[in-house]
Amino acid sequence: MAEEGHVIGIDLGTTYSCVAVWRKDHAEIIANDHGNRTTRSYVTFTEAPKGVAKIDVCFSIDANGILTVSAEDLSTGNKKEITINSDK
């Protein structure tokens, strides 16, 4: 039997964002720590030379459907991380 993997979808909207994981035959939207299925999107624009990234973002999901999103401001070294747990 073939090994099953995990498929996730991330909607990075300009106002709200959400994450879904494919389970069995449908997509399940993962609620955030407050039980909401969408999370307010935050975007910051700073001056930088064209083509030079100043923020590094990483999306990681484990075998239990727990999503961790981390971001680092490369110019200051400030780091933030959020974990979104599956309700299953």
Number of domains in the chain: 1
pLDDT in tens, the chain (88 residues): 455 666 777 777 767 888 888 877 888 888 888 888 888 877 666 676 676 667 888 888 777 778 888 888 887 888 888 888 766 5
Would you give the distance in Å from CA 31 to the centre of its chain?
A: 12
Residue 19 lies inside a defined structural domain of this protein = yes
Which residues, 6 or more positions from 79, have their beta carbon under 8 angstroms from its beta carbon? 70, 71, 72, 73
Residue 37 lies inside a defined structural domain of this protein = yes
Residue 1 lies inside a defined structural domain of this protein = no
Residue 14 lies inside a defined structural domain of this protein = yes
Strand boundaries in 1-88, DSSP class E: 8-12, 16-23, 26-29, 39-40, 55-61, 67-73, 79-84
Residue 24 lies inside a defined structural domain of this protein = yes
Residue 2 lies inside a defined structural domain of this protein = no
